[in-house]
Amino acid sequence: MIEKASVVIIGGGVMGTSTAYHLAKLGCQDVVLVEKNQLASGSTSLSAGGIRLQFSLEANIRISMESLRTFERFAEEFEAEIDFRQHGYLFLATEPRDWAEFQANVAVQQRAGVPVRLLSPEEIGDMAPYLYLDDVVGGTFCPRDGYADPYSVTMGFARQARRLGVRICEETEALDIKVSEGKVRAVVTNEGEIATPVAVNVAGPWAAQVGRLAGLELPVQPYRRQVFVTAPFDELPKQIPMIIDFAPSFYFRREGASILMGMTDQEEPPSFNTNFDLEFLVEVAEKAAYRAPVLDRAGFMRGWGGLYTITPDDNPIIGRDIGGVEGFYCAVGFSGHGFMQSPAVGRILADLITSGQTNHDLSPFRLERFEAEEMIGEKRVV
């Protein structure tokens, strides 16, 4: 039974374990992470594992650039194999409006140092001759983008965090956050009460519930996203980029010998539903066969549903003393980008907790933006 901690992290997904690791690395003692189920049992292990620098907002690009550097040296720093593949992300625009946005985004990305380039349909055809391109206006490609295994990344963070002294308590649920005189005092769990001045909400799709434990209403909601994997399929090259058909939010990439694909169901209401449904698989399979006609011959092997945690402007809420509650920190609402941004965001939270400062621009991620109607919004959402 743990009675006291300097920091209690609520949530053992990739964000929580990254935060735990970075706190311990900075020398923070007595850090406790509570996870109501098992590590990575939330959105993290259901993610498609995509990692990219191609965002519209500079603050997101900077967070992703720092995170990518960590993924690139993860195997060495964490002694963990994360199956990191840097085959690039190829975005396709079919709508003139999206193409105009892509061109504006690429200018911001290039200014930030991202090696991204605009591609004509002919250049896309040279790169990916298996795509149907008659309706494609143009695309963007960044060779440093890729994907990795989110479960292994989480376990890598967790192992190093434990080595550095973090106590990780699985099957331990935060049931209440005691706040008095505007300050966090304790986190109450099913295993007892932990006195602490700092509670960190990294509860993924359950972020709104954890916010309520501290008396706050956070504008984050869970939405199901489904992923499907084909049977082994050798009619596409062994190495293909992550391909994003932007308007329908359809994507596919290699998953070993198979092809992994997903799409956003625009009609999906918020819920905690994580079933996968066969009717939607038919829609996804049709979209796949349209964009890459050889996929018409692919058989399907499995699928699953997971939860995105979405805010009204598709940007997360990251910061300290959230809602004026001293000692309440959040990194929630990543709207489908939480895995790729976890290395830098964990470090940012650790910096905020230990020094009150960070070298990143967090202004687009303030909770207050919603009330002040100062939402900038991320446009490259998949």
Ligand X SMILES: Cc1cc2nc3c(=O)[nH]c(=O)nc-3n(C[C@H](O)[C@H](O)[C@H](O)COP(=O)(O)OP(=O)(O)OC[C@H]3O[C@@H](n4cnc5c(N)ncnc54)[C@H](O)[C@@H]3O)c2cc1C
CA 157/CA 134 separation, integer angstroms: 44
Taking CB under 6 A as the criterion, the residue among 5, 7, 14, 214 binding ligand X is: 14
Give the nearest distance from C-beta 35 to ligand X in angstroms: 5
Nearer to ligand X, 125 or 185 (CB): 185
Taking CB under 6 A as the criterion, the residue among 88, 156, 204, 364 binding ligand X is: 204
Sequence-ordered strand ranges (E) for the chain? 7-10, 31-34, 50-51, 89-93, 117-119, 138-142, 146-147, 167-169, 174-180, 183-189, 192-195, 199-201, 221-230, 242-245, 250-255, 258-263, 300-310, 317-319, 328-332
CA 201/CA 67 separation, integer angstroms: 20
- Residue 336 sits in the site that holds ligand X (CB under 6 A): yes
Nearer to ligand X, 158 or 227 (CB): 227
Per-residue binder mask for ligand X (CB under 6 A), 210-249, x = binder: x--------------x-x----------------------
Nearer to ligand X, 125 or 270 (CB): 270
| Region 51-110 residues binding ligand X, contact defined as CB under 6 A | none
Taking CB under 6 A as the criterion, the residue among 138, 156, 205, 343 binding ligand X is: 205
CA 364/CA 362 separation, integer angstroms: 6
Q: How many residues can be counted in the chain? A: 382
- Edge-to-edge strand ranges of the sheet holding 317-319: 167-169, 31-34, 7-10, 199-201, 328-332, 317-319
Give the nearest distance from C-beta 14 to ligand X in angstroms: 5
Give the nearest distance from C-beta 52 to ligand X in angstroms: 8
| Region 300-329 residues binding ligand X, contact defined as CB under 6 A | 306-308
- Residue 35 sits in the site that holds ligand X (CB under 6 A): yes
Radius of gyration over alpha carbons of the chain, in Å?
21
Q: Tell me the sheet residues that pair with 9.
A: 33, 200
Give the nearest distance from C-beta 156 to ligand X in angstroms: 14
- Residue 149 sits in the site that holds ligand X (CB under 6 A): no
Give the nearest distance from C-beta 313 to ligand X in angstroms: 16
Phi-psi region of 11 (alpha: psi -120 to 50; beta: other; left: phi over 0): left
Backbone angles phi, psi at 191, to 5 degrees: -100, 0
Q: What is the contact surface with ligand X in residues (CB under 6 A)?
A: 10-16, 34-37, 41-44, 46-50, 173-174, 202-206, 210, 225, 227, 262, 306-308, 334, 336-340
